[in-house]
Structure 1
């Protein structure tokens, strides 16, 4: 017990000594500052404040003088540094609210256009705050890729030796705009892209002798393994840009290690419509057959879309498939039933990407498809219209992407002569026969509703016009047969809804007729793009009347103005609110609507944005909540 008490005493004394050592020592010759009571400090501060106030009042009553002696006539207060000569330092302190109010008064007043532009920027920022377009596993685990895939392809030495200035001169010559890092120069010949002779022979058979601008720049970028967003006008040859590199990658994998039973695909192309998927599959099969004739290993391609009995194609899937061209619905079905897997898939292309990743399109389907990928892939996105909002969202799925743009995104093909005519609703069918006399067949007629397609088709058949019709309510066999007859020249007129407006290639069409205007200007651009393809000139005639909304008519007016086409008086007479935005658009670089790409309205008035918002609210509606099903009954 004594020992314990001794230890406790020693521990106490050591702590006491330590505390004494840590206390700061005061030197003998050091002066200690005298303590001033709080009351006295407040009194001294009040005296200084009163003295300063009197001095400022005296200075304000005296006239200003340039004499520096007069300016500093009053000596500083004791214990206070001399005040600077600037008038700002002599002002008394003021609250933050008073300073903010004074700043607002001194700044120029914000115009109504500037205020609206600031609100639009906030709207676009809110729309782009979406989860990245990646698989659920990648988003959950935070998996990101920093390097693009390596394919081993390199351009010829003469191309690699080109300087950056020479490459930019070529891009300026062909009006190619490129965004990205470590860019490859454009290549002006298919031979320099190192395609096999079988591919070059098939290109010659298709009367394709030299690459188009999007092919000049896009093919080298994709062949090197880079992710890419391609935007070019309709009929510019975008399909070749993503099909040829995919076939080269599949051929390379087959030569290295042939596919075994149940493997594949190596490349995947997803299209928004059956007709476009069927057309792309036909292009792919043409080059596969050409390669097979030259003794290359056989490549197998699969067309997966609704309306096809997949039991007939299961034998091909079991053997191993190299390339799959599919629509989202059928592809999801095959993946969920494990009839197809993406374990070795390294190549993904979204054709008509603006439709694929749009809020009203297949965004959720694309997310589900991406969840089946097991490793990094090369991702490509192509479209003729790519609004800023969709482009920014799409870039979240790409690794170090390169954007290749030929012309303005959403601009009309300049090889198409656009004619707009005011026709009353009851006179459309009669006037349609007169429009068919403008050019020789084949002619493509677009209508907005399926019932209108059937009415126009029956009317033309009653007038002894060889016509076929395509819309979503027809079976796949009927749709395929109608398009085949039209392409083969057995039918002079094809009447269709917008299912035939995106991506379909009809090289011989000279005339496109819009029986009625679409609800969105993007669909108009795709419709008239079915003519004027591959450098040919075409005509597009559009019927308008009072049934169309003023928003779509203003978009049409500005599109005609941009393409230097004739603007009819009925459009010129419209009250155009965009005229007051011209100066501000040049300064800000923001032209038209950033959401849909229309030039005749702003984001706040975008009909597509309002439609997508209502559709999103309908999908997210809680039918068992306070605002749901019970409230409507």
Structure 2
């Protein structure tokens, strides 16, 4: 049995394959014959055909044709060999040479534009300003929020040409679709009478340009980018719509414990958040005067303070939250309140918040929203880079711009003086004599802030200091005592330059000129607020970078200010190259391009430092 199976297996086995080592086309293979050998063969044929002239002539023609074809084959073979021997380096060199020839034909301006476009494309690859949950699910809102507000009929019936003339009158630039009309008084905006009376008691009778267009835009539920110079009333432009939305919700159905908030206002610094919170408290209290309108509850949510002190607010329905990002995330994660019904988000000094690295925190905060929200971004300096980023992140946004983004307040007299480094302290005392107190002195260095304060105290000047290394109690004491008039001078780092509003500041002294012109614009903007005038004195010397001085020169020229001779003598290298002098899209500075932007350099330096820190931590 086993023998028969074995036999059957042998029969069914496939035959052993036979491998043919020679190619099938071996018979057609024609070996290469050198030219000299072919010529000898040709001579032999000619001698053998000499007896027949006709045959010899035909043979010669045939041989010549073969020889020509052989030479062509030889040349082709040599070309193929040369082509295979070409290196990638040679090809790269040829590409480089071609590019160099093309670049030689381009103007300097075209080269700079291409370089700027490449850098902008590299930094524009950031994610949209939306929550990670929305990005993951592909949630995208296409229509703006709907509200119950409508402008009065007589304003609705105005023509587009009338709206355009009104905007031109107040130097308002707008971009977007279906833009709400500008309204010249608060009553026509349908602001409650108690609030209008309160504003009149504070000598605010008509809205400022940013309020004239910004408040109707926010009332209509539109996403918005608001840009206006310092001291122009931006805080009221974004707080009043939130107060009105909260009032409408509370009137319809009163809030109970655990409900709310209706909206949140995000600020980059504790001081700015505290100031905004105090304004909201004042305005909501004025609205509820007389008992006609209900009292609204507002929560301040910042680091450095005990949230237990505001437990009485958390125990009631919550309408408005004013916060810094870190503490707000902490409160949301602990479920002290939720954003389940929150539908209004405003970022004050939005460009500074994004530049300071709060972008991921903002996305985290957005992830707590359960529904569509109305988003508003406000700032005095919002470069094109941030505007483009915001345009992608908002829903059919409207850009409201009063003047150039990053331009200085025209109500501030800017005085730039050349003062040697060792003479600054002595000259500071002379500058303090220009105007009566209160006066703010800015320095970029924390140690220098403390040194200036100590020097002034020794000279008998009542001075306080504020910078990032101070405790929250020290910072609050400095601001409170300065605002109340107990102290005449406040020495500050950049922390006090963003949005803080101090009454009747007539003089700002910039002890050390900041590298970024945006910071300078914010610092001088602490004076000349709400239509008042002020003076800003700036010290510069050989330690000030030439590029910063060039930015300052163009800013003074734009504002129609007196430009000192030493600034006028600084030449712009771009002008020598014949390039058009456009502002930097990253920081708005007029004296440099994106390739030389100090803000971009600082951002790259911070990013590299964070990467190095992450690498170091990875070793543990």
Q: Same fold (TM over 0.5)?
A: yes
What residue is the counterpart of 2:436 in the other structure?
440
Instruction: Provide the C-alpha distance between the structure 2 equivalents of 1:218 and 1:617, rounded to a whole number of angstroms.
Output: 39
Does structure 1 residue 514 correspond to structure 2 residue 510? yes
Does structure 1 residue 210 correspond to structure 2 residue 206? yes
Q: Aligned ranges for residues 74-223 of structure 1 at < 5 Å?
A: 109-223=105-219
Instruction: Provide the C-alpha distance between the structure 1 equivalents of 2:514 and 2:222, rounded to a whole number of angstroms.
Output: 36
Q: Unmatched 5+ residue regions in structure 2?
A: 1-93
* Of 592, 598, 606, the match for 2:583: 592
Q: Are 2:108 and 2:578, in contact at CA under 8 Å, matched by a contact in 1?
A: no
Instruction: Provide the C-alpha distance between the structure 1 equivalents of 2:586 and 2:446, rounded to a whole number of angstroms.
Output: 27
* Of 370, 375, 378, the match for 2:374: 378
Residue 463 of structure 1, CA deviation: 1.1
Instruction: Provide the C-alpha distance between the structure 2 equivalents of 1:611 and 1:477, rounded to a whole number of angstroms.
Output: 30
* Of 277, 298, 302, the match for 2:299: 302
Residue 230 of structure 1, CA deviation: 0.2
What residue is the counterpart of 2:606 in the other structure?
615
What residue is the counterpart of 2:520 in the other structure?
524
Query: Tell me, what secondary structure is at the counterpart of 1:584?
Result: coil
Taking a change above 3 Å as real, the CA distance of residues 131 and 520 of structure 1, as seen in their structure-2 partners, is same
What residue is the counterpart of 1:245 in the other structure?
241
**Size of the alignment, in residue pairs?**
524
Q: Are 2:108 and 2:579, in contact at CA under 8 Å, matched by a contact in 1?
A: no
Q: Unmatched 5+ residue regions in structure 1?
A: 1-97, 586-590
Residue 564 of structure 1, CA deviation: 1.6
- What does the per-residue CA deviation read over 1:589-613, in whole Å, with 9 as the maximum and x for residues that have no partner? xx22111111111101112111111
Instruction: Provide the C-alpha distance between the structure 1 equivalents of 2:469 and 2:613, rounded to a whole number of angstroms.
Output: 30
Instruction: Provide the C-alpha distance between the structure 1 equivalents of 2:537 and 2:527, rounded to a whole number of angstroms.
Output: 11
What residue is the counterpart of 2:448 in the other structure?
452
What residue is the counterpart of 1:322 in the other structure?
319
Query: Tell me, what secondary structure is at the counterpart of 1:193?
Result: coil
Taking a change above 3 Å as real, the CA distance of residues 276 and 582 of structure 1, as seen in their structure-2 partners, is farther
Instruction: Provide the C-alpha distance between the structure 1 equivalents of 2:102 and 2:256, rounded to a whole number of angstroms.
Output: 75
Instruction: Provide the C-alpha distance between the structure 2 equivalents of 1:282 and 1:425, rounded to a whole number of angstroms.
Output: 39
Residue 629 of structure 1, CA deviation: 7.2
RMSD (Å) for aligned C-alpha atoms: 2.1
Q: Aligned ranges for residues 467-546 of structure 1 at < 5 Å?
A: 467-546=463-542
Query: Tell me, what secondary structure is at the counterpart of 1:620?
Result: helix
Residue 362 of structure 1, CA deviation: 1.0
Instruction: Provide the C-alpha distance between the structure 2 equivalents of 1:598 and 1:202, rounded to a whole number of angstroms.
Output: 39
Taking a change above 3 Å as real, the CA distance of residues 463 and 134 of structure 1, as seen in their structure-2 partners, is same
Instruction: Provide the C-alpha distance between the structure 1 equivalents of 2:615 and 2:461, rounded to a whole number of angstroms.
Output: 53
TM-score (norm 1): 0.80
Instruction: Provide the C-alpha distance between the structure 2 equivalents of 1:482 and 1:622, rounded to a whole number of angstroms.
Output: 34
Residue 103 of structure 1, CA deviation: 13
Residue 108 of structure 1, CA deviation: 9.4
Residue 329 of structure 1, CA deviation: 1.2
Instruction: Provide the C-alpha distance between the structure 1 equivalents of 2:451 and 2:277, rounded to a whole number of angstroms.
Output: 32
Instruction: Provide the C-alpha distance between the structure 1 equivalents of 2:554 and 2:574, rounded to a whole number of angstroms.
Output: 9
What residue is the counterpart of 1:417 in the other structure?
413
Taking a change above 3 Å as real, the CA distance of residues 102 and 614 of structure 1, as seen in their structure-2 partners, is closer
- What does the per-residue CA deviation read over 1:121-179, in whole Å, with 9 as the maximum and x for residues that have no partner? 12112211211110001100110111111111001111101100110011111110000
Query: Tell me, what secondary structure is at the counterpart of 2:505?
Result: coil
Taking a change above 3 Å as real, the CA distance of residues 509 and 622 of structure 1, as seen in their structure-2 partners, is closer
Which one has the largest radius of gyration?
2
Query: Tell me, what secondary structure is at the counterpart of 2:300?
Result: strand
What residue is the counterpart of 1:568 in the other structure?
564
Q: Are 2:173 and 2:402, in contact at CA under 8 Å, matched by a contact in 1?
A: yes
Q: Are 2:483 and 2:503, in contact at CA under 8 Å, matched by a contact in 1?
A: no
TM-score (norm 2): 0.81
Instruction: Provide the C-alpha distance between the structure 2 equivalents of 1:102 and 1:430, rounded to a whole number of angstroms.
Output: 61
What residue is the counterpart of 2:426 in the other structure?
430
Does structure 1 residue 551 correspond to structure 2 residue 547? yes
Instruction: Provide the C-alpha distance between the structure 2 equivalents of 1:618 and 1:516, rounded to a whole number of angstroms.
Output: 25
Instruction: Provide the C-alpha distance between the structure 2 equivalents of 1:211 and 1:180, rounded to a whole number of angstroms.
Output: 22
Residue 287 of structure 1, CA deviation: 1.3
- What does the per-residue CA deviation read over 1:260-280, in whole Å, with 9 as the maximum and x for residues that have no partner? 211211110000111111111
Query: Tell me, what secondary structure is at the counterpart of 2:601?
Result: helix
Instruction: Provide the C-alpha distance between the structure 2 equivalents of 1:443 and 1:138, rounded to a whole number of angstroms.
Output: 47
Q: Are 1:507 and 1:534, in contact at CA under 8 Å, matched by a contact in 2?
A: no
What residue is the counterpart of 1:34 in the other structure?
none
Taking a change above 3 Å as real, the CA distance of residues 102 and 272 of structure 1, as seen in their structure-2 partners, is closer
Does structure 1 residue 352 correspond to structure 2 residue 343? no
Query: Tell me, what secondary structure is at the counterpart of 1:513?
Result: strand
Does structure 1 residue 332 correspond to structure 2 residue 329? yes
Query: Tell me, what secondary structure is at the counterpart of 2:188?
Result: helix
Taking a change above 3 Å as real, the CA distance of residues 582 and 389 of structure 1, as seen in their structure-2 partners, is farther
Instruction: Provide the C-alpha distance between the structure 2 equivalents of 1:529 and 1:441, rounded to a whole number of angstroms.
Output: 17
Residue 582 of structure 1, CA deviation: 7.1
Does structure 1 residue 268 correspond to structure 2 residue 259? no
Instruction: Provide the C-alpha distance between the structure 2 equivalents of 1:104 and 1:613, rounded to a whole number of angstroms.
Output: 29
Q: Are 2:574 and 2:580, in contact at CA under 8 Å, matched by a contact in 1?
A: no
Instruction: Provide the C-alpha distance between the structure 2 equivalents of 1:149 and 1:574, rounded to a whole number of angstroms.
Output: 50
Query: Tell me, what secondary structure is at the counterpart of 2:460?
Result: coil
Q: Are 1:421 and 1:544, in contact at CA under 8 Å, matched by a contact in 2?
A: yes
Query: Tell me, what secondary structure is at the counterpart of 2:413?
Result: strand
Q: Are 1:357 and 1:394, in contact at CA under 8 Å, matched by a contact in 2?
A: no
Taking a change above 3 Å as real, the CA distance of residues 381 and 506 of structure 1, as seen in their structure-2 partners, is same
